[in-house]
Structure 1
Amino acid sequence: MTHTGPQSAPIPPFPADFTWGVATSAYQIEGAAFEDGRGPSIWDTYCRTPGKVLGGETGDVACDHYHRWAADLDLIQSLNLNAYRFSVAWPRVVPQGRGPVNKAGLDFYDRLVDGILARGMQPHVTLYHWDLPQALQDQGGWANPDVQHWFAEYALTVYGRLGDRVASYATFNEPWCTAELGYHVGRHAPGIQDLRTSLLASYHIQLAHGRAVQALREQNTTAELGTVLNLYPVDAASDDPEDEAAARLADAKINRWYLDPVFRGVFPSLAVEHYGAAMPDVDLAALAVARQPLDFLGVNYYFRQWVSRDGVSRAGPPTPGTERTAMGWEVYPEGLYRLLTDLHRDYPVKKYYITENGAAFDDQIVGGEVRDEARVRYLRTHLSELRRAMHAGVPVAGYFAWSLMDNFEWAFGYSKRFGIVHVDYDTQQRTLKDSAKWYRDFVTGRRAARPVAR
């Protein structure tokens, strides 16, 4: 029997060659933190710093994907998906960040890629999803100018083993989170709280992205190359000029600070002027290396930013009755349409992937089932807005739901569940939520469809 979930108007057909997948990241699911030669990451250190992670929890075991990868790939295949996006753990491949390579770590990802291909799916690799080797952080991490070269060497190491069996390589996942949350706010590893250091880290990340893309291009790879950014529609709290000015500044600091270097080789002047004396002494001419031809841009969308004159950004307006996730984020499907159409107007590329889109809810297993109707509704409404953007001319080639399964949610530990598959962390039992069944049935119908115009 087809699992329908909450009812709504039908979503128009997607192209038959559309990529349907799920996404994960290494530290959040792999576990095996100190096995087979893996070196410590900044998250191993951060999790062991009292008060940093809810409940003092760690990714030491997580979803034990390192040992259960084959069954997890079977699970993805059972959902009739044709792609899996995952990240490679830098400290598993190069334990000290540079120097000797860990063969066992590369062997793991080699088996994983072969397993994905054997199941008729495409591997999509993210090279950096926040788990910097601690040995490099001890040398300054992303604030060290040499990190751009270390990252390019690491990218070549991964490519040297996985090669063109991979459909796409993304250099970074959400560099704003790395620089802002890791080096300014301090809510993510390495837990530094310094604006100037954060800005320096963001600069070096942009250089590292450019160096890595250059290095991979020189290998004549046939894999697609790109990067993944967390982006947001930004709305002013009112039509007051001060609110509108605050929204423009927030857009420059959150979105365009990472878009402009990649597409224009510069930082947005509005944000540079705002930072003033806090701006580190960087070579803005060197930033041009970040502007490399890309095969795709990965877009992670969760909510919109709502900004008032006091400079505060919130995950949507504080309106009573607004549907929100367990993270407190506004459910705003129209934001995906707005974001994509604005993005393609200002930063056109030949291909976009929705590399993350999903929501945490307070899921419970009752009678062996997880009735997560709110997540089914979330997926359905966001896919509807995605199709609307495609109809408006935005060349979106794929969608990856976040996430395959419940996992370690960074500073929130295991308290927030983003998965379409429920994980019992005591037994490692995986249970399909209603959202997984809905997604499976939705994709199955679309994959069986004949080609249509984008």
Structure 2
Amino acid sequence: MLALVLIGCGATALAQQVYISANGPVTRSQCSEQTASPSYAFSQFSYTQTETVRTATSVQPECTTTYAPPYESLSHLVPSLTTTTWGNWYPNQTQRAANNSDPYGPAAWSSLWEVAKIANFTTRGLYSTTVQPTPVPSSDLVLPPPNYFGPQDCYNFPEDFMFGVAGSASQIEGAIADEGRAPTLMEVGFQSGVMANDYVTNENYYLYKQDIERLASMGVKHYSFSIAWTRILPFTFPGTPVNKQGLDHYDDLINFVLQKGMIPSVTLFHFDTPFAIFKNNLTSLKERPLIGYVNGGYQMDGFEDAFVNYGKIVMTHYADRVPVWYTFNEPLLYSTNGKSVDAVVKAHARLYHFYREEIKGTGKISLKFNDNFGVPRDPNNTDHLNATNHFNDFQLATFCNPIFLGKDYPEAFKMTIPDYVPLTEEDLKYINGTADFLGIDPYTATVVEPPPQGIAACAVNSSDPLFPYCVKQFTNTSTGWDIGYRSESYVYITPKYLRTYLSYLWNTFKTPVMITEFGFPVFDESKRAVIDQLYDSPRSEYYLSFMSEVLKAIWEDHVHVMGAFAWSFADNWEFGSYESQFGIQFVNRTTQERRYKRSFFDLVDFMAIRTRKK
């Protein structure tokens, strides 16, 4: 047989897989050798199997900590704010809004939706007002029968380890044209006859209290969510009125999280770019990106200042109660060109300085990065190692070099993106140290080798099918096996690679690591009967194996991992699809009923057993 060994080699990106030849079965080091033969005897038969009934333990409220002065003491930092309300937009209404002379009145707000030309917006959800929560029945909190095999580690998580669940506004809220919200890239950019839309999703905008009640009942301590920019600023840009209903909604959401004994983490921006950023122009929105998969509009004139203005408004209102902030979610994936990256890095740095120097906040700030961690197909081949470093540098060091190390963009980025904006020494000094930890979404791993034509030739040819990463990517090992159990999408179960990855991040960028998302969409889950969807053993294996390797990274590799957030707390809209289900809760798309899946119980039970009590 071949034994797979993962090696993390410190500050340089040498994490790799090594195949060591071995013969015979794997030894059972935990077992003593048996020398005696078994004996056989009859006995009185009885049904001795018993069923242990355990229920989840809800999180308990604690004293609320504050992390900044309240808004009343910070309002001078965002002067001249005006608030108003706009109500709901109905595409087929016959009565038109009046006061056409007001550039931000009801007529102007309605025109934002009319210009966006949202297709087939004929379906609204079941709810039109916030639903008050009801207690979760104890019968819903009974743990499933234990798995026969499970983790055997004896490590515990540190007292300050943050375990939680995550979601994002566009993927769960629905109510896209309610209470003043304006159109976003999520509505305009995902219009196709074969793509599911975000118009209703989980109706979390009205069901957020019940969702939080369900999380708290399972013992979840941390809840990470995003705020929709166009719910706060329907007209997007500085100097435009703030939506009071949007402010009140997230204010109430945060307060209810705290009331239930949980702690909020807030992401300012999770892909839902306001349509107004594109100057309400469908042509500019559909411009082909050079870097990411989608044109997120970061390169558009005015984006940076508009985002910073939005971030300041949100932070001043909620910084007293929110201890962890993320400015951007996976910015590489929606970056169009070099100017996009420049806008993200500088907007993030400006908000960090605002939070520390003007708000005087004591919480933490970072970004969430994507990267399916690359490992070399042949670890003894220098070209394969260089290709792997190039792959990881392009995705991570592009942002992490200036933010964590005060260093220039990596060569992998500069040689590939010709319009990148050079960083001056003054820029690097301002940007350096503007994140308190590295947020990463390490869903899976990727096996890498260089392209036949070479990285350099690919990097100067944007029409090359391997551009912009300019490496060949595989999901199998050199022996032909998949790198792990396959999911509905790109994710494979690769826990040992995760441990190597955490070591790479810690030793390369010299900062604590937060797993801000990780999850597994079980293959064909949406096509199964509900009872079978609930018994999602592959997802349990994913979470428990990943968290076991996190413990090893902490205790054996001495990596500072601050926390981990499961994605997602419920099945949701996955950017055009409901079939790729990442949720640890099932959602009935007709009734909006939620049901806990087995993996939710397994994960919270695993964490509860291994979490030190303060």
Q: How does the TM-score come out when normalised to structure 1?
A: 0.88
Partner residue in 1 for 2:312: 156
Partner residue in 2 for 1:373: 537
Partner residue in 1 for 2:509: 347
Deviates more, 1:93-102 or 1:398-407: 93-102
Partner residue in 2 for 1:66: 205
Residue 164 of structure 2 contacts residue 564 of structure 2 at CA under 8 Å; is this kept in 1? yes
Structure with bigger helix share is: 1
Residue 151 of structure 1 contacts residue 212 of structure 1 at CA under 8 Å; is this kept in 2? no
The alpha carbon displacement at 1:332 in A equals 0.7
For residues 173-230 of structure 1, what are the alpha-carbon distances to aligned partners after superposition, in whole Å with 9 as ceiling and x for unaligned?
A: 1111121xxx3xxxxxxxxxxxxxx222122111111111111112101222122112
Partner residue in 2 for 1:228: 368
Partner residue in 2 for 1:202: 341
| Separation (CA, whole Å) in 2 of partners of 1:327 and 1:110 | 35
Q: 1:352 to 1:309 in 2, by over 3 A?
A: closer
Q: 1:265 to 1:56 in 2, by over 3 A?
A: same
Partner residue in 2 for 1:432: 596
Out of 507, 512, 519, the position equivalent to 1:358 is 519
Out of 320, 327, 331, the position equivalent to 2:481 is 320
The alpha carbon displacement at 1:281 in A equals 4.8
For residues 89-116 of structure 1, what are the alpha-carbon distances to aligned partners after superposition, in whole Å with 9 as ceiling and x for unaligned?
A: 1111111222221111111110110010
Task: Write the mapping of 1:280-291 to structure 2, written as runs, cut at 5 A.
Answer: 280-285=420-425, 287-288=427-428, 289-291=430-432
The alpha carbon displacement at 1:428 in A equals 1.0
Q: Where does structure 1 lack aligned partners over 5 or more consecutive residues?
A: 184-197
The alpha carbon displacement at 1:446 in A equals 3.4
Q: 1:30 to 1:384 in 2, by over 3 A?
A: same
| Separation (CA, whole Å) in 1 of partners of 2:493 and 2:532 | 27
Residue 184 of structure 2 contacts residue 230 of structure 2 at CA under 8 Å; is this kept in 1? yes
Q: 1:386 to 1:367 in 2, by over 3 A?
A: closer
Out of 85, 92, 101, the position equivalent to 2:224 is 85
Note if 1:172 corresponds to 2:336: no
**Secondary structure, counterpart of 2:534 in structure 1:** coil
Residue 299 of structure 1 contacts residue 354 of structure 1 at CA under 8 Å; is this kept in 2? yes
Deviates more, 1:394-403 or 1:143-152: 143-152
Task: Write the mapping of 1:131-150 to structure 2, written as runs, cut at 5 A.
Answer: 131-138=272-279, 141-144=297-300, 146-150=302-306
Q: 1:408 to 1:367 in 2, by over 3 A?
A: closer
Q: How does the TM-score come out when normalised to structure 2?
A: 0.66
Q: How many residues align?
A: 426
Note if 1:32 corresponds to 2:197: no
**Secondary structure, counterpart of 1:275 in structure 2:** coil
| Separation (CA, whole Å) in 2 of partners of 1:6 and 1:130 | 41
**Secondary structure, counterpart of 1:115 in structure 2:** helix
Partner residue in 1 for 2:150: 8
| Separation (CA, whole Å) in 1 of partners of 2:182 and 2:334 | 19
Q: Identity of paired residues, percent?
A: 28
For residues 245-293 of structure 1, what are the alpha-carbon distances to aligned partners after superposition, in whole Å with 9 as ceiling and x for unaligned?
A: 32222122112112112113444342245226x2345454564233234
For residues 5-51 of structure 1, what are the alpha-carbon distances to aligned partners after superposition, in whole Å with 9 as ceiling and x for unaligned?
A: 35223232212332221000010000010000001111111122x36
Give 1:167's aligned amino acid.
P
For residues 347-400 of structure 1, what are the alpha-carbon distances to aligned partners after superposition, in whole Å with 9 as ceiling and x for unaligned?
A: 122x43211111111323444861110000000100000011111222222211
Residue 164 of structure 2 contacts residue 224 of structure 2 at CA under 8 Å; is this kept in 1? yes
Give 2:369's aligned amino acid.
L
Residue 342 of structure 2 contacts residue 420 of structure 2 at CA under 8 Å; is this kept in 1? no
Partner residue in 2 for 1:333: 495
| Separation (CA, whole Å) in 2 of partners of 1:425 and 1:312 | 40
| Separation (CA, whole Å) in 1 of partners of 2:392 and 2:442 | 14
| Separation (CA, whole Å) in 1 of partners of 2:413 and 2:562 | 34
Task: Write the mapping of 1:111-150 to structure 2, written as runs, cut at 5 A.
Answer: 111-138=252-279, 141-144=297-300, 146-150=302-306
Give 1:154's aligned amino acid.
Y
Deviates more, 1:16-25 or 1:429-438: 16-25
Note if 1:270 corresponds to 2:441: no
Q: 1:367 to 1:338 in 2, by over 3 A?
A: closer
Deviates more, 1:290-299 or 1:413-422: 290-299
| Separation (CA, whole Å) in 2 of partners of 1:406 and 1:367 | 15
Residue 266 of structure 1 contacts residue 284 of structure 1 at CA under 8 Å; is this kept in 2? no
**Secondary structure, counterpart of 1:353 in structure 2:** strand
**Secondary structure, counterpart of 2:385 in structure 1:** helix
**Secondary structure, counterpart of 1:56 in structure 2:** coil
Task: Write the mapping of 1:415-430 to structure 2, written as runs, cut at 5 A.
Answer: 415-430=579-594
Q: Which has the higher contact order (CA 8 A, sep 6+)?
A: 1
Q: Where does structure 2 lack aligned partners over 5 or more consecutive residues?
A: 1-52, 55-143, 285-296, 452-469
Root-mean-square deviation (CA, aligned residues, Å) is: 2.1
| Separation (CA, whole Å) in 2 of partners of 1:333 and 1:133 | 37
| Separation (CA, whole Å) in 2 of partners of 1:387 and 1:47 | 39
Residue 397 of structure 2 contacts residue 410 of structure 2 at CA under 8 Å; is this kept in 1? no
The alpha carbon displacement at 1:156 in A equals 1.0
| Separation (CA, whole Å) in 2 of partners of 1:255 and 1:281 | 17
| Separation (CA, whole Å) in 1 of partners of 2:201 and 2:415 | 40
Q: 1:167 to 1:6 in 2, by over 3 A?
A: farther
The alpha carbon displacement at 1:402 in A equals 0.7
Residue 376 of structure 1 contacts residue 434 of structure 1 at CA under 8 Å; is this kept in 2? yes
Q: 1:39 to 1:366 in 2, by over 3 A?
A: closer
Out of 349, 353, 359, the position equivalent to 1:219 is 359
Note if 1:256 corresponds to 2:397: yes
| Separation (CA, whole Å) in 2 of partners of 1:445 and 1:240 | 43
Give 2:387's aligned amino acid.
A
For residues 115-170 of structure 1, what are the alpha-carbon distances to aligned partners after superposition, in whole Å with 9 as ceiling and x for unaligned?
A: 10000000000111110111012287311353222211111111122122012111
